[in-house]
Amino acid sequence: MKMKNFGTLMAAAILGSLLTIGSFQLFDKNENPIRIEHVEGIPALKASYTGDVNSVPLDFTAASEKVMNSVVHITNTKNESRFTQNSQIPDQLRDFFGPYFRDDRRPSGPRVASGSGVIINDQGYIVTNNHVVNDADELEVTLHDNRTFKAKVIGTDPTTDVAVIKIEEKGLPYLTFTDSNNARVGQWVLAVGNPFNLNSTVTAGIISAKARNIGIIGDSTSIESFIQTDAAVNPGNSGGALVDLNGDLVGINTAIASPTGSYSGYSFAIPSNIVSKVVEDLISYGVVQRGWLGVTIQTVSSPLVKENDLAVNEGAYVVGLADNSGAKDVGIKKGDVIIKIDDIDVENTANLIGYVGSKRPGDKVNLKVNRNGKEIDYQVLLKNRDGNTEIVEKKNIEKLTVLGADLEELDSKTLKKLGIESGVLVKSLRPGKIRKYTDMREGFIITKIDGQKVKSKEDVEKILDNKEGGILLEGIYGNGSGTYYYGLGV
């Protein structure tokens, strides 16, 4: 049956709520004030479609024009060489190897990569991804008006893939952070960046999901609680803006899920609340101050519910607790299910990790747990990983991050089996000097640094403390292949 007089399906209405902008001042290492702004409150935006095919249900132009001026193109130039195990050994140590030394460095020329960034205040501070600026020998920023500037790195956080860089220019247009906790599935968003070097590209989509953990950062301490969207994002969009229709920053575009390497329908952004906190810490302290709940958790699933006879179907199941943690201090137990933190419902582990990742040591959070069907409320003091609430100094963090190695101490039984007196295991490698300048593999056991025996991570830190110039790492792989030497500059 053919319908006549179809008429209007729905009336279009756009309602806006008043917004207030909150601002605060940070201080850089020279105690200079730095202003960054946030939106307090979310615009109430409702849109509906009409039967008139000539009508435009949504208008993205105002937000696009606002955002494009604040999104930059970042070029990362790396002057790379290919190295073997003896490469990059400091000149003062080369005689150690005598006539048998082979310097197998083979220049391969500069390698250029590009990404995007977002200007966050008028003093030239820009937020982007850590992987966009990582290991750069030179960073160049191109503004929307085609002006170019050299940039310096203010700080990086590999655990969230966030970095802050700065150019020497003032009076720049910038974006304001909005509260990503208020972002809703189904909400319209725009992705702005420079895919395939196509500057100032805007795509539109909706928020498809929140609190996604896709395991892309690959660090045991990583914080992944991504906003998933269907706005088209491609290589080059990394570090660009994800904004609401008011043009305020909801997240920083970071990754895509794709079998081809190009957009296939899914893209992921770091929520603005995590980005904002990391930015504040990097500018103020030079290193991220990470709040630590002190629990090992697992997302509640149907098998887990049956196995442990749980009374809830969603939440973060407590597998274990650290001895010096705030969670253990207040009485949270193994087997509890965390179902709420402050006013945020905990649906999975990424939900909880993402929220705690926006906090610092010394902050307090309210937890609601389900224990055998009974709900119990706790207030937990977040600590750092040392079990206190002190500010972590940058110099204490950089000692090992400069190498890019996660180290693990070996017990006496393992040492005896390997036939060595001491050593520390390179459990995993992250971006850093070792990966950049050597071909060291995970599983290497460092027995000596500059001829000094190492028995613990503390020994490594002590040797690296205030170390300048080059170092020589000596060790074995435990497969009987002999002693290896890796030299690099720090």
Q: Active-site positions?
A: 131, 161, 238
Q: For the purposes of burial, counting CB atoms within 10 Å of the CB of 176, is it exposed (0-12), middle (13-18) or buried (19 or more)? A: buried
Q: Is the separation of the CB atoms in 291 and 34 below 8 Å?
A: no
On whether the CB atoms of residues 241 and 191 are closer than 8 A, the answer is yes
How far is residue 153's CA from residue 7's CA, in Å, rounded to a whole number? 58
Indicate the burial class of 19 (C-beta count within 10 angstroms; 0-12, 13-18, 19 or more). middle
Tell me how far CA of residue 288 lies from CA of 172, 222, 284, 361, in angstroms: 26, 12, 9, 10
How far is the C-alpha of 65 from the C-alpha of 42, rounded, in Å?
20
B/e letters for 321-333, b = 16+ CB within 10 Å, e = fewer, are bbeebbbbbeebe
Got the DSSP string for 217-256? S--TT----EEEE-S---TT-TT-EEE-TTS-EEEEEEEE
Q: Determine the Cα–Cα distance for residues 337 and 332; give it in Å rounded to an integer.
A: 10
